[in-house]
């Protein structure tokens, strides 16, 4: 592992702590981003919320299945926590868990912002936007990436507004095509400019490091 990957590994395994404070436009504290780590595997309350939120928002994901607490726990333990290019953060408003945000596929050049979710009401109305922008700034501070990118369904108006507010640009359109395996549906991305057999599309969006 390189230095950044080692840092992510150490965060996940509770060897270092890196909590991101969230502030509004006036500098007032509105919450914090807390890294999701191996200690949370034993927290049935948090695992339960992640599971419930996933099921409640299934239509906004590119894979459709019914999540269970055990499946969520196994996914964290065997996928997320074993990947030194991926990290998830829990979003808190005071002591209330509101949602999560994260990134994956971190390289020397770019990283995918991923797993954005507001699962609960409450807190500052722009909490998710502030959390996403704070995570982007954290990535530019902690890593050498030049580009933070993401994917947004063209049918998800709320996510489009959120990404514009976080400073994303580009908005390249890609087709999504459905496949089914063992009763679970997923949508795979095609080439830019092609059509979608399922009439479903997504945007690729980017934020580039200032000065690049």
pLDDT digits (tens, 9 = 90+) for 114-167: 999 999 999 999 999 999 999 999 999 999 999 999 999 999 999 999 999 999
Q: What is the pTM of this model?
A: 0.93
pLDDT of res. 108 = 95
In the chain, pLDDT over 70 holds for what percent of residues? 99
Work out the pLDDT band at 184, boundaries 50, 70, 90.
confident
Name the nearest CA neighbour of 113 among 97, 92, 129.
129
The CATH number given to 3-208 is 3.40.630.30
* pLDDT at residue 212, as a whole number: 60
> For the chain, which residues make up each domain, given as ranges?
3-208
Tell me the percentage of the chain whose pLDDT exceeds 90.
Answer: 89
**pLDDT higher than 80, residue 211:** no
pLDDT at position 59 over 70 = yes
Integer Cα distance of 173 and 51 in angstroms:
30
- Could you tell me the two tokens for 37? 């780590």
* Strand ranges (E), 67-211: 87-93, 96-104, 110-118, 147-153, 169-181, 184-189, 200-208
Average pLDDT over residues 26-48: 97
Spatial CA neighbour of 61 closest among 155, 193, 165 = 155
Query: Cα torsion for 149, 154, 158, 161, to the nearest 10°?
Result: 60
């Amino acid at each position: 592992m390189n230095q950044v990957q080692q840092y992510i590994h150490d965060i996940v395994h509770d060897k270092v702590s890196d909590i991101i404070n969230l502030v509004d436009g006036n500098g007032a504290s509105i919450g914090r981003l807390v890294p999701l780590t191996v200690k949370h595997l034993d927290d049935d309350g948090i695992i339960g919320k992640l599971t419930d939120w996933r099921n409640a928002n299934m239509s906004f994901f590119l894979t459709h299945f019914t999540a269970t607490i055990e499946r969520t726990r196994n996914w964290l333990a065997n996928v997320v926590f074993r990947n030194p290019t991926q990290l998830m953060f829990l979003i808190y408003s005071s002591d209330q868990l509101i949602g999560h945000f994260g990134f994956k596929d971190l390289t020397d050049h770019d990283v995918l912002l991923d797993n954005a979710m507001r699962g609960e009401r409450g807190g500052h109305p722009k909490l998710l936007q502030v959390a996403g922008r704070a995570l982007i700034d954290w990535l530019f501070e902690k890593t050498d990436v030049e580009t933070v990118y993401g994917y947004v369904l063209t049918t998800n108006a709320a996510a489009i507004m959120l990404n514009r507010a976080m400073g994303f640009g580009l908005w390249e359109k890609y087709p999504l095509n459905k496949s089914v395996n063992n009763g679970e549906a997923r949508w795979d991305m095609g080439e830019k400019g092609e059509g979608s057999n399922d009439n479903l599309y997504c945007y690729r969006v980017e934020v580039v490091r200032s000065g690049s």
